[in-house]
Amino acid sequence: MALMHAHTLPVVDENGLVLGDVSEWNFLQGYGADTFFSLIFRLMAHDQRFIDYCERTLVREIMTQPAITLPEQGTFADIARAFHQVEEKRLPVVDAQNHLVGVVMRRDFLERFHWEEWL
């Protein structure tokens, strides 16, 4: 997540079907940290419990289900509705068989919308 600068990532099965998503919040809750900084303080103390938690916790145990996805053949209206429904910055895009084919970022949507035509 950190390498991709993502706060949420889609979770797919071995066939590429989208099952759900996992977020920073899911991770923090699973570890019992109320805030990002409470987690940092634990890490600073080299908490063995943190290391153990990371090694034993499976993604499927903390992910959010079902995933909010966008259809590959969706429209700008579909994107706007989906982003209105959830407070995410990225949403997975799936094909007709629910296989992950990409991700739409809110920034992508805003950059490609021709605001000058409507304002």
pLDDT in tens, 49-107: 777 877 888 888 888 788 889 999 999 899 888 888 887 888 899 999 989 999 998 88
State residue 57's pLDDT score. Answer: 85
Tell me: pLDDT of 40 over 70: no
The predicted structure's pLDDT at residue 44: 60
**pLDDT tens digits for range 19-30:** 888 888 787 777
Residue-range domains of the chain with CATH: 8-117 (3.10.580.10)
DSSP H/E element including 9: strand 8-12
Burial of residue 103 (CB within 10 Å: 0-12, 13-18, 19+) is middle
Which are the contacts of 10, defined by CB distance < 8 A and separation ≥ 6?
A: 18, 20, 21, 67, 69, 92, 100, 103
pTM, entire model: 0.60
pLDDT at 71: 94
- Please report the pLDDT score of residue 73 as a whole number: 95
